[in-house]
């Protein structure tokens, strides 16, 4: 069984909040796009193996 290697987190004020994990970077990026479509904010993908943030996304707030 493969363990998830990438954590998906969302910046909330002064901290990062863990949302879920993904097995590979492409799956993590795809999932962040889905999450960002529903809720604005900044999302990051953290590589558990290297212990580094490997991607960052800012989802704009919905304009009325």
pLDDT tens digits, 24-51: 999 999 999 999 999 999 999 999 999 9
What local confidence, expressed as pLDDT, does residue 27 receive? Answer: 97
Is 37 contained in some domain? yes
Q: What is the average pLDDT value for the chain, to the nearest integer? A: 91
Is 35 contained in some domain? yes
Is 33 contained in some domain? yes
Is 61 contained in some domain? no
Are the beta carbons of 45 and 29 closer than 8 angstroms?
yes
Query: For residue 64, what pLDDT band results from cuts at 50, 70 and 90?
Result: very low
What are 13-18's contacts with CB under 8 Å, separation 24+?
Answer: 16/44
Is 11 contained in some domain? yes
d(CA 1, CA 16): 28
Q: What is the pTM of this model?
A: 0.86
Report the number of distinct structural domains present in the chain. Answer: 1
Is 24 contained in some domain? yes
- Domain of residue 23 covers 6-50
Is 41 contained in some domain? yes
């Amino acid at each position: 069984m493969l363990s998830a290697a990438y954590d998906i987190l969302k910046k909330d004020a002064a901290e990062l909040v863990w949302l879920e994990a993904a097995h590979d970077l492409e799956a993590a990026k795809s999932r962040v796009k889905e999450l960002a479509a529903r809720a604005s904010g900044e999302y990051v993908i953290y590589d558990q193996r290297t212990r580094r943030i490997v991607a960052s996304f800012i989802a704009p707030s919905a304009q009325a």
